[in-house]
Chains A and B, each alone.
Chain A
Amino acid sequence: MIPEIGHFALILALSLALCQGVLPLIGAHRNDPAMMSVARTAAYGQFVFVAISFGCLIWAFVQDDFSVLYVANHSQLSLPTVYKVSAAWSAHEGSLLMWIFILAAWTMAVARFNAGIPKVLIARVIGVLGLLSVGFLLFALLTSNPFERLIPAAIDGADLNPLLQDPGLAIHPPLLYIGYVGFSVAFAFAIAAMISGDLDQNWARWTRPWTIVAWLFLTLGVALGSWWAYYELGWGGWWFWDAVENASFMPWLIGTALIHSLAVTERRGLFKSWTLLLSISAFSLSLLGTFLVRSGIIVSVHAFATDPTRGFFILGFLGVVVIGALALYAWRAPELDSDVGFSPLSRETFLLLNNVLLVVATTLVLMGTLAPLIVEMLNGGKISVGPPWFEIAFMVPMIPLVLLLGLGMHTAWRKQSTGPWIRLLRIPAIVAVLIGIVLPLFFYGRVSLLLVVGCAAAAWIVISSLILPVRSWRREKGASAITRSALGMSIAHLGVGLFVIGVTIVSAFGVESDRAMRQGETLDVAGFEFELREVREVQGPNYTAIEGVVEVRRDGEFVAVVRPQKRQYLVQKNWMTEAGIHPNWNKDLFVALGDQLGDGAWSVRIQYKPMIRFIWLGAFIMALGGLVSVSDRRYRKSAS
């Protein structure tokens, strides 16, 4: 019964989404308040029914309703309840429903929090979001119904993929989707502006907070995915440039360019066509990402198992949305050129470079991701493009970007006089270079050009980001209290600096050791002694495991005990590695148990990961900066 309610609710949501999509847009065109006000009601209504539907699905999981095919495929009686809930979005149909739910939630938020924004604009924004909802709802109802029945019902389910039986599944997809889907709001604002032909500084001010919130969730989502892969997949890597990872990273890169571009449009009415194009691109890349993951077109451990019919549907939807938006863009953008100027040393210049470098980076990632496909289509056979290429290609635009980052923050709008600028920044620059040389040398005993550049860049960004907050705190030279916007910027950039430090150090000084070990043996890795004390069997709620107890010492002194496991889940019978990790603010000690070799020996992978936590800490701080920035008074003012 409940699944049928869920299904029916979805159909009702579709009809509401149709109203929400069509009527307000017509109403905006005719300036008909009655039709425009349908937007809010329909948005609320759609949300309610989508929530009911999603709730029914989760209920089916919690109640072990194996007469629902999706539940039978992805759950199991002995699965811990928290995983039964997150299993609801662990595969294609359920995660699509979650996408629809999040889109409805964002739409409701826009319908609720739009004080000060003209009714016509809001009607169009909600209308566009409604059309997007229609597309996704049709996709779900026509090709990917999560409520499909399994007759006769299964006695027990096929179990959730053991890799996903982890808190990461509860948090990573929701955060990621909130980000992905959130860019549809910026997209809708862009479409609305292109329809009306009005794109001004007010428009930018209204769009900006929505975009920043979406961006910060995407930052958290991507960072969490990286962290999860690190501790779950057992090989100690945190980014593989896998197609699906790239699919989440490209919207992030463009989203970052977008929030900066919006700043220029808001402040000086410049970069309008940039901002438009970036708004369209961010969401288009979200759609492209969804396509890559769900269509079966690429091979990846992240990809959903699904069939090409669904791929065609998404591609069709993607085509209509993106081509439609870009056609509008080609029509309206020429009219948006402004006559405002700026001098070479100005914040506009730096933000222009920011846009350019981020777009170059995104294009390169897109190129690398699609190259195997394109080459194959041109009958060039199958090729692979992996980390060796991506790492080099990505560095090319990124190194200049991180260097410029520290400069742009302190450059005035329109024209910055060189004298004070140099005086402000020369000491931090020199200190940064010194740190760049001293840090690796002193703490890790080695230097190289890349190391110095990485450490110096990180130090430079950190110091530069602290200038404004520190000045404001000390009320230097009559400086006023720092605005939340500027504080958010400083915090976010500080996060970037921490991120760069993490990446630089762990790439340069991380140590990995694969060895055979017997019980009682000790292995020396990176100055730590790892002793495999014993290997024993343990029981989990729905798995049995072989656990290794590894004691870690340094110079004879006890540091930690880690317990890497090899788990065999009761239903799927696949073996899984759970790494034993001893985390620390400045290093991780990572031990993973491999196969049993002959005569009591086990293969063990031990890794020393210095400063790796800074990678995710940096991302988290970036998101925090976004949050602080969005709480600025000017976004909470109701009048324009």
Chain B
Amino acid sequence: MTQRLIVVIASLLFTLSAFAIDTGKAFDDPEMQARYERLIAETRCVTCQNQSIKDSNAFIAADLRREIQRLMSEGKSDEEVAEFLVTRYGDFVLYRPRMTGKTMLLWIAPFAFILFAIFAFIRVLRHRMALTMDDEAADGGAAQ
């Protein structure tokens, strides 16, 4: 398995730290171009060690960029582009996890944690406030 990967990488003359360059703009329309750049930044290169297809020099990355460009010029939406990629490579290929089933928890987590934290915080605060009032009562009302 590792042998195979070394072989692939060597064969692809994988440049260690290069990055992906298209020969020109993919789209003339700045909005489409911006959308394209965002999509390719969020798509994972399937052969590389954790790089987006925007930054990768591997030819698969170039192929995938070309496919995304084609899909966008056919008028496909972001979801449809994601669907195309996921059908072929699975959720692995998306750096932005989809908000479905197993990854739903990931998107809920930040807000759930904050809510939980706020509740816990308020509880502790109430407890400490009560202790302060006990202190004050014990001191005969002279608070520090």
Q: Given that A352-B121, A381-B91 are contacting pairs, would A577 and B133 also be in contact in the complex, using a CB cutoff of 8 Å?
A: no
Annotate B82-113 by CB proximity to A: 1 below 8 A, 0 otherwise: 00000000111111110000110011011101
Question: In the complex, are the beta carbons of B124 and A352 less than 8 A apart?
Answer: yes
CA distance A386 to B42 in the complex (A): 8
CA distance A364 to B18 in the complex (A): 31
Question: In the complex, are the beta carbons of B113 and A364 less than 8 A apart?
Answer: yes
Measured between C-beta atoms, what is the minimum distance from A350 to chain B in Å? 11
Question: In the complex, are the beta carbons of A233 and B132 less than 8 A apart?
Answer: no
Q: Given that A415-B143, A514-B22 are contacting pairs, would A386 and B95 also be in contact in the complex, using a CB cutoff of 8 Å?
A: yes
B67 within 8 A of A: no
Q: Given that A360-B117, A389-B96, A516-B23 are contacting pairs, would A341 and B17 also be in contact in the complex, using a CB cutoff of 8 Å?
A: no
Question: In the complex, are the beta carbons of B19 and A592 less than 8 A apart?
Answer: yes
Question: In the complex, are the beta carbons of A389 and B97 less than 8 A apart?
Answer: yes
Question: In the complex, are the beta carbons of B92 and A384 less than 8 A apart?
Answer: yes
Q: Which of B42, B97, B133, B134 has the most CB of A within 10 A?
A: B97
CA distance A610 to B84 in the complex (A): 36
Question: In the complex, are the beta carbons of B110 and A396 less than 8 A apart?
Answer: yes
The residue from B19, B22, B121, B128 contacting A341, defined by CB atoms under 8 A apart: B128
B32 within 8 A of A: no
Question: In the complex, are the beta carbons of A348 and B132 less than 8 A apart?
Answer: no
Question: In the complex, are the beta carbons of B15 and A576 less than 8 A apart?
Answer: yes
Annotate A509-549 by CB proximity to B: 1 below 8 A, 0 otherwise: 00010111000000000000000000000000000000000
Measured between C-beta atoms, what is the minimum distance from A19 to chain B in Å? 41
The residue from B17, B22, B25, B133 contacting A576, defined by CB atoms under 8 A apart: B17
CA distance A232 to B17 in the complex (A): 8
The residues in A between 353 and 377 inclusive whose CB is less than 8 angstroms from any CB of B are 353, 356-357, 359-360, 363-364, 367-368, 371, 375
Question: In the complex, are the beta carbons of A233 and B17 less than 8 A apart?
Answer: yes
Q: Given that A382-B91, A388-B95, A577-B18 are contacting pairs, would A393 and B117 also be in contact in the complex, using a CB cutoff of 8 Å?
A: no
The residues in A between 561 and 583 inclusive whose CB is less than 8 angstroms from any CB of B are 566, 574-577
A142 within 8 A of B: no
Measured between C-beta atoms, what is the minimum distance from B40 to chain A in Å? 11
Q: Given that A349-B125, A397-B110, A514-B20 are contacting pairs, would A341 and B97 also be in contact in the complex, using a CB cutoff of 8 Å?
A: no
A330 within 8 A of B: no
The residues in B between 124 and 139 inclusive whose CB is less than 8 angstroms from any CB of A are 124-125, 128-135
**Closest residue of chain B to A296, judged by CB?**
B2
Question: In the complex, are the beta carbons of B91 and A388 less than 8 A apart?
Answer: no
Q: For A162, list chain B residues within 8 Å (CB).
A: 16
Q: How large is the interface on A (under 10, 10 to 19, 20 to 34, 35 or more residues)?
A: 35 or more
The residues in B between 16 and 48 inclusive whose CB is less than 8 angstroms from any CB of A are 16-25, 37, 42, 44
Chain B binder among A28-36, A70-78, A435-443, A597-605 = A597-605
The residue from A341, A353, A387, A594 contacting B129, defined by CB atoms under 8 A apart: A341
**Closest residue of chain A to B135, judged by CB?**
A341
The residue from B42, B106, B131 contacting A367, defined by CB atoms under 8 A apart: B106
Question: In the complex, are the beta carbons of A393 and B121 less than 8 A apart?
Answer: no
A635 within 8 A of B: no
Question: In the complex, are the beta carbons of A344 and B110 less than 8 A apart?
Answer: no
Q: For B94, list chain A residues within 8 Å (CB).
A: 383-384
Q: For B131, list chain A residues within 8 Å (CB).
A: 339-342
Q: Given that A339-B131, A341-B131 are contacting pairs, would A356 and B95 also be in contact in the complex, using a CB cutoff of 8 Å?
A: no
B3 within 8 A of A: no
Q: For B106, list chain A residues within 8 Å (CB).
A: 367-368, 371, 385, 389, 393
A343 within 8 A of B: yes
B11 within 8 A of A: no
The residue from B21, B44, B130 contacting A595, defined by CB atoms under 8 A apart: B21
The residue from A161, A385, A574, A605 contacting B97, defined by CB atoms under 8 A apart: A385
Question: In the complex, are the beta carbons of B109 and A393 less than 8 A apart?
Answer: yes
Q: For B21, list chain A residues within 8 Å (CB).
A: 514-516, 594-595, 603-605
Q: For A516, list chain B residues within 8 Å (CB).
A: 21, 23-24
The 6 A-B residue pairs with the shortest CB-CB distance in the complex, in nearest-first order: A386-B95, A341-B131, A603-B21, A341-B132, A388-B96, A594-B21
If A342-B131, A360-B113 are given as contacts, then 19 extra A-B residue pairs at C-beta distance below 8 Å, sorted by A number, are A240-B50, A339-B134, A341-B130, A343-B132, A360-B110, A364-B109, A371-B106, A375-B102, A380-B102, A381-B92, A383-B91, A383-B94, A383-B102, A384-B93, A396-B113, A577-B15, A577-B19, A594-B57, A605-B21
Could you pull out 20 A-B pairs where Cβ atoms are within 8 angstroms? A234-B17, A242-B50, A301-B49, A340-B128, A341-B135, A343-B129, A360-B110, A382-B92, A383-B103, A386-B95, A387-B95, A414-B144, A515-B25, A516-B23, A516-B24, A575-B13, A577-B19, A595-B57, A597-B23, A601-B23
